[in-house]
Amino acid sequence: MIALLIVVSTLLLLLNVKLIMSRKLMIEQESDRLEAAMAEFITAVEQENDALYDKLMDRLEQTEAKMAQLEKMEDPAQERKSAVRSADEPPVETSRRHKVRELVKQGFSAAHIAKLLELPIGEAEVAVQLEKKRQIR
């Protein structure tokens, strides 16, 4: 009788161990599946982010070009100055983006750049983030 109880207990214990092992395997498989799905999601988000970044940079360049045209229309003396400039003298880039780029390289914070360039803080933060993203590429 005791031998039968020992055999039954051993069988139950072995079944329990097998059940635990199969659950562990299922959890590992589910974990791997979730990890793969997260990797795909992150890749898709990064691609979308890159596409949006490129669109934003294009839009920013277009806006800067329009602003430069408007500034030239407002200041006809500016055209005369550029015509007088010698051919061997390199043009001086005075765009806001160049200024932000230089200040970011020098380690200035977005708040400090906003103050220096008289920009709204949100615009300066976006410009700094875009510049840092550009530098990473």
- What is the per-residue pLDDT across 68-95, written as a single tens digit (0 to 9) for each? 888 777 765 555 555 555 545 444 445 7
List, for residues 46-58, the tens digit of each pLDDT value: 999 989 988 988 8
Is 109 strand, coil or helix? Answer: coil
**How many residues are present in the chain?**
137
Put simply, whether the predicted model's pTM sits higher than 0.85 gets the answer no
Asked if residues 124 and 113 have their Cβ atoms less than 8 Å apart, the reply is yes
- For helices 110-117 and 96-105, angle between their N-to-C axes, nearest 10 degrees: 140
Would you say 79 and 85 are in contact if contact means Cβ atoms under 8 Å apart? Answer: no
Torsion of CA 115, 120, 124, 126, to 10 degrees: 170
